[in-house]
Amino acid sequence: MANLILILGDQLSTTLSALEGADQENDLIVMAEVHEEASYTNHHKKKLVLVFSAMRHFAQELEKHGWRVQYQPYHPNNPAQSLQQVIATAVQQHQPKRLITTECGEWRLHRQISQWHKTLGIPVEIRPDTRFICSHKEFAEWADGKKQLRMEFFYREMRKKTGLLMTPDGQPEGGHWNYDADNRKKWTGKPPAPGPFRVEPDDITQAVIKQVDEHFSEHFGTTDDFHFAVTAEQAQQALEHFIDFALPCFGDYQDAMSDTEDWLFHAILSPYLNAGLLDPMDACKAAVRSWHSGQAPLNAVEGFVRQILGWREFVRGIYWLLMPGYAQENRLGNTRKLPWFYWTGDTKMRCMHKAIDATYRNAYAHHIQRLMVTGNFALLAGVKPEEICDWYLAVYADAYDWVELPNVLGMVMHADGGYLGSKPYAASGKYIHRMSDHCANCHYKVNKATEDDACPFNALYWHFIDRHRDDFANNHRMGMMYRNWDKQKPERREALIKRANWLLEHIEEL
Ligand code: FAD
Ligand code: SF4
């Protein structure tokens, strides 16, 4: 045998760099569902089903196309419980010349794999992950010498590099780089939201669902109503479904939240992009085609392209630039434990209950729920970054360390001192009220701040502003907040702080 080729659960792409130049007759592909990877965090049951089922389908597809694949399905009593054990056994069995793999998406595993050559006794070739648009080197060069990194400027570079939404003379289509100001409508039930693309579980997926229910019963979430795509072909259909039915309204309602509708006009493509079932450039190009054909407006298409070409590439760049130290950051000095209702949804705060309940059922909540509801609450309450990061890593089908960590630690918790975002996304209940219909159905009153039934976000917001004066008073984007706070009567400020202290002491009862 020539080479062993290791393919991981989020590397399900036939264009994977590890497969480049491989020899179907002499090389052997190894894929394994191992206990260590499935259980290092409390992964949502639907995420486990998605990854295991997509891996099994991918292995079948490879074999159909002539590859030799050695596949270990999950079993709690498998002798090899870690990837390293699987590979060590395969090396003993097959005596390959070397191991080839594509760099993984997580520092923890990357560190392990980069040491394997010492114990395996064969060379380990780790190839770059070419499925991303910006390489590590390119990102590091762009970031070099900058005190703070701003996504907007990185995004413009990526637009120029790819030519997406650019005129032939190098200008942004429509004359602007960004149409975010047009993307802030509240959704009131019309037009109806299309819902996600749904795939009926086939025999393979059903077998995985049974296994996950049996062996991971303690994990967060439910396998009920599993409808994710598990092959590249189905993920492509999910992309087409989004382009045809949701993209035209994606921009308008990008920041909206609803008490009755889980998915709104979001793409629901991140689980597929991150597992390798869908190519990010293909997704962007499909959206741009839809604008060219007059099917979707520019504010929607630009907004979608910015999320993938901008945010997705930007957070990945930051992750690999700053790990492993980045994961330890806690610049706001937070010490609070994660409230238990993050796992149960058992809270009277309607917006929180709705976001956590959707997360539990779907392994999905859209960006604004993650950022402005569950994230905002953790920021205002001063939850320890590592605890809230662990939660986000566990509960979403699209959660992988490289994308979850910068979003939570940097964007939401501002724990990196503003390296990723120029100001914290802290907001009172007013913001949630403006963008949703949750408050009308809530136990708390959004227009009250100090009374017993007042919206907790209101007093907690001012507590956050007050306790972090040293961190933010000189931030020019926060100056207005401090002027507003200082303008309030001392009795009012005292009442707000008193209410916030009470809320923080009784946080588990909210
Ligand atoms: P849409 O809203 O329709 O956006 C389209 C695509 O853009 C997404 O599929 C995604 O690939 C990309 N995208 C959008 N925003 C971001 C972003 N901030 N970072 C990276 N990619 C982005 N995304 C993940 O893929 N995995 C995570 O673990 C994850 N954790 C998050 C945690 C927090 C606290 C926050 C605020 C955001 C997080 N995101 C994460 C980003 C974003 O919320 C999800 O990508 C998005 O909700 C996925 O749903 P969608 O496909 O319907 O996205
Ligand atoms: Fe959320 Fe406050 Fe509105 Fe209740 S009143 S839904 S807690 S923002």
Q: 445: which strand partners? A: 454
Tokens 């080839």 -> residue: 100
pTM of the shown model: 0.96
Omega before 96 within 30 of 0, i.e. cis? no
Q: Could you tell me if the CB of 307 is within 6 A of ligand 1? A: yes
The radius of gyration of the chain from alpha carbons, rounded to an integer in Å, stands at: 24
Class of the CATH domain delimited by 341-509: mainly alpha
Number of Cβ atoms within 10 Å of the Cβ of 208: 26
Q: Could you tell me if the CB of 383 is within 6 A of ligand 1? A: no
> Could you tell me which residues come within 8 angstroms of residue 373 by beta carbon, excluding any fewer than 6 positions away?
257, 351, 352, 354, 355, 432
3-6 vs 28-32, strand pairing mode: parallel
The predicted structure's pLDDT at residue 184: 79
- Exposed / middle / buried, residue 336 (Cβ in 10 Å: 0-12, 13-18, 19+): middle
The predicted structure's pLDDT at residue 78: 85
User: Which residue CA neighbors atom 34 of ligand 1 most closely?
Assistant: 408
Q: Could you tell me if the CB of 284 is within 6 A of ligand 1? A: no
HSE at residue 158, side-chain half, CA atoms within 13 A, is 26
Cα–Cα distance measured from residue 334 to residue 340, given in angstroms and rounded to the nearest whole number: 17
Q: Kindly indicate whether the domain formed by 136-202+212-256+272-310 is annotated with CATH number 3.40.630.30.
A: no
Which ligand neighbours the alpha carbon of 348 most closely?
A: 2
98-102 vs 124-127, strand pairing mode: parallel
Q: Could you tell me if the CB of 267 is within 6 A of ligand 1? A: yes
Strands across the sheet containing 124-127: 69-72, 28-32, 3-6, 98-102, 124-127
CA of 256 to the centre of ligand 2 (A): 15
| Helix/strand/coil percentages in the chain, nearest 5 | 50, 5, 40
Q: 99: which strand partners? A: 4, 124
Q: Which atom, in ligand 2's list, is nearest to the CA of 442?
A: 4
Q: Which atom, in ligand 2's list, is nearest to the CA of 441?
A: 6
User: Which residue CA neighbors atom 48 of ligand 1 most closely?
Assistant: 270
CA of 507 to the centre of ligand 2 (A): 15
**Phi, psi (5° rounding) for residue 72?**
-105, 110
Q: How far does CA 392 lie from the centroid of its chain?
A: 8
Helix/strand/coil for 100: strand
Number of Cβ atoms within 10 Å of the Cβ of 205: 23
- From first to last of its 510 residues, the chain has per-residue pLDDT tens of 799 999 999 999 999 999 999 999 999 999 999 888 888 889 999 999 999 999 999 999 999 999 999 999 999 888 888 899 999 999 999 999 999 999 999 999 999 999 999 999 999 999 999 999 999 999 999 999 988 889 999 999 999 999 999 999 999 999 999 988 777 788 989 899 999 999 999 999 999 999 999 999 999 999 999 999 999 999 999 999 999 999 999 988 989 999 999 999 999 999 999 999 999 999 999 999 999 999 999 999 999 999 999 999 999 999 999 999 999 999 999 999 999 999 999 999 999 999 999 999 999 999 999 999 999 999 999 999 999 999 999 999 999 999 999 999 999 999 998 888 889 999 999 999 999 999 999 999 999 999 999 999 999 999 999 999 999 998 989 999 999 999 999 999 999 999 999 999 999 999
Domain layout of the chain by residue ranges:
3-127, 136-202+212-256+272-310, 341-509
CA of 351 to the centre of ligand 2 (A): 6
Q: Which atom, in ligand 1's list, is nearest to the CA of 273?
A: 11
Q: Are 136 and 41 in contact (CB under 8 A)?
A: no
- Do domains 136-202+212-256+272-310 and 341-509 share one topology? The answer is no
Q: Are 395 and 309 in contact (CB under 8 A)?
A: no
Q: Structure tokens of 482?
A: 């401090």
CA-to-CA dists, residue 330 to 76, 83, 409, 415, 452, angstroms: 36, 31, 8, 5, 31
Superfamily the domain 3-127 falls into? HUPs (3.40.50.620)
User: Which residues approach ligand 2 with their CB closer than 6 A?
Assistant: 349-351, 429, 432-433, 438-439, 442, 444, 446, 455-457
CA of 371 to the centre of ligand 1 (A): 10
User: Which residue CA neighbors atom 9 of ligand 1 most closely?
Assistant: 270
The predicted structure's pLDDT at residue 41: 86
CA of 367 to the centre of ligand 1 (A): 6
